[in-house]
Chain A
């Protein structure tokens, strides 16, 4: 037993003033300031990966209708570029921004400053080193060939160690919370940091380090591939929506009970969903059937979440005019509902038999990962960055360009490609249609996909410019002509500025 004079490791890590009354709330500005450097690091690294991933995406998309383009360089072939794109945006942009948002939300809701930031900063460094090795490895041709786990085995242990640090630190923040009652966002965040290491380590062991045999490989692959979206990115996206939607409009969530029901039913049903990707494959039919049933049961968390979001917003839609956060978050929330219901439909056998192995699946993945998750993360960054930099967004015009290019871009990407994929699937099932004709059917949709990809790229560049601009202001002279608009966290003008 440790004496009072020799505090344990956890106590030593606790915030300096953690011995004050539990009711005392830390100043928001103090909490925001403590997260500033770390969250900025994750956001900036994530945005750099987004730009890199966007370039890869445009190259890959163009190659789909112009296959001779850059075909002479092995590392620029479609198989490598497309895989590099996926890993850059999933494990680069999405994961890093998600960690930044998660840390900020957890500190705010726990009402504790981020302690020992150097630990998390080291994790960010590890993560980016591992990811760079992984992406370069993919471009070199070292891919494992397992979807969503393509990075070579010399890169993944670094990523795992980095994420383990992040997970442990998130739990440490939670351990020292001053607010004992949990908000639903904290449930989602805690579950996400526990689920991801489990998914990632299990899949790495069974698919890369000690590969399982036969159909077990397919089972583990889709158990991981589906759950990394639904049990890692989705909970963080929903945590952000459940925080920012009420926060921005100044109205509590419509039904807290519905939000809790949504969390626990997601936890119960989502884990079983992945096998519906194996409809028609050499896989036990009963396992696929269970997966389809669980996928249909996902209607419960999805609809309860949709009802909650909608009734929270009722009467407040006019506020979309003023808040970029609200625009992106509402877009993400609606997209969560639509993409999830589309996913439910896609799991049913007759639908899957047409849509599977077509561009419809690609469209669905982008509906979830971009229209829902990425837009939600953009909205979160619009809220967080002014608070941790103590500066307002420099350009309203760039914000508008960002929103309209990404919103229109992803709608024009997903809707036509879903339809084009359906036509492709119908043609593939028709034995009288030659395969080359099937390819020709997809061409107009693929060209449109490249054009909408350009629109998305414009939006990404606009946001990146605004991000660099706000950082330049942070480290430059204080030029704020008006009081900060950040209600409740109006900072004092820095001394000497």
Chain B
């Protein structure tokens, strides 16, 4: 059990330490600020804000405008 205890106690110390380091790293590299930029990360030029990206059901005819500004 000696080695196993060492591994378990070690991991119990390492994981919180990694979490603290991650929090420190995030703060240092601006990951906890610049919220405006971060919230836009799922979007880009190809799939911009304001464009719905999953119109599968009840689709309007191709010739008509998509409802509510929905982009097809």
Contact = CB atoms under 8 A, between A and B. Distances in A.
Contact of B56 (A181, A318, A322): A322
A468 interface: no
B47 A28 contact: yes
Interface in B37-71: 37-59, 62, 67-68, 70-71
A383 B59 CA distance: 16
B17 interface: no
A181 B49 contact: no
A109 B39 CA distance: 12
20 contacts: A25-B45, A109-B41, A182-B38, A194-B15, A249-B52, A250-B49, A250-B52, A255-B35, A319-B52, A319-B68, A322-B52, A322-B67, A323-B54, A323-B55, A325-B54, A382-B56, A386-B56, A485-B56, A487-B52, A488-B48
Given A182-B31, A183-B42, A392-B56, A250 B50 contact: yes
Given A28-B47, A205-B4, A210-B1, A256 B35 contact: yes
Given A205-B8, A256-B38, A488 B51 contact: yes
B41 A194 contact: no
B11 to A, nearest CB: 6
B19 interface: yes
Contacts of B45: 25
B53 to A, nearest CB: 5
A179 B40 CA distance: 12
A435 interface: no
A252 B39 contact: yes
Q: How large is the interface on A (under 10, 10 to 19, 20 to 34, 35 or more residues)?
A: 35 or more
Nearest to B33: A257
B57 to A, nearest CB: 5
Contacts of A486: 53
B19 to A, nearest CB: 6
Given A205-B8, A252-B49, A488-B47, A181 B38 contact: yes
A400 B58 CA distance: 11
B27 to A, nearest CB: 11
Contacts of B44: 25, 28, 488
Contacts of B29: 180
A323 B53 CA distance: 9
Contact of A247 (B31, B42, B57, B71): B42
Q: Which has the most chain A C-beta neighbours within 10 Å: B32, B50, B56, B67? A: B56
Contacts, number: 135
Contacts of B19: 267
Nearest to A321: B58
B29 to A, nearest CB: 8
A206 interface: yes
Given A247-B42, A487-B51, 13 more contacts: A28-B46, A109-B41, A198-B11, A250-B49, A251-B50, A252-B42, A264-B23, A322-B54, A382-B56, A485-B59, A487-B52, A488-B46, A488-B48
A396 interface: yes
A326 B54 contact: yes
A257 B44 CA distance: 21
A27 to B, nearest CB: 8
B13 interface: no
Contacts of A323: 52, 54-57
B57 A321 contact: yes
Nearest to B42: A247
Interface string A238-252: 000001001111111
Nearest to B34: A181
A148 interface: no
A205 B35 CA distance: 41
Given A253-B39, A396-B57, A181 B70 contact: no
Interface in A308-339: 318-319, 321-326
Given A206-B8, A485-B59, A487-B71, A243 B42 contact: yes
B8 A247 contact: no
A184 interface: yes
Contacts of A69: none
B8 to A, nearest CB: 6
Contacts of B11: 198, 202
Contacts of B40: 252
Given A264-B23, A482-B62, A181 B41 contact: yes
Contacts of B58: 321-322, 396
A415 interface: no
Nearest to A251: B49
Nearest to B30: A181
A11 interface: no
A257 B26 CA distance: 13
A32 B43 CA distance: 15
Nearest to A179: B41
Interface string A358-385: 0000000000000000000000001100
B39 to A, nearest CB: 4
Contacts of A325: 54, 56
A260 B45 CA distance: 25
Contacts of A25: 44-45
A150 B53 CA distance: 42
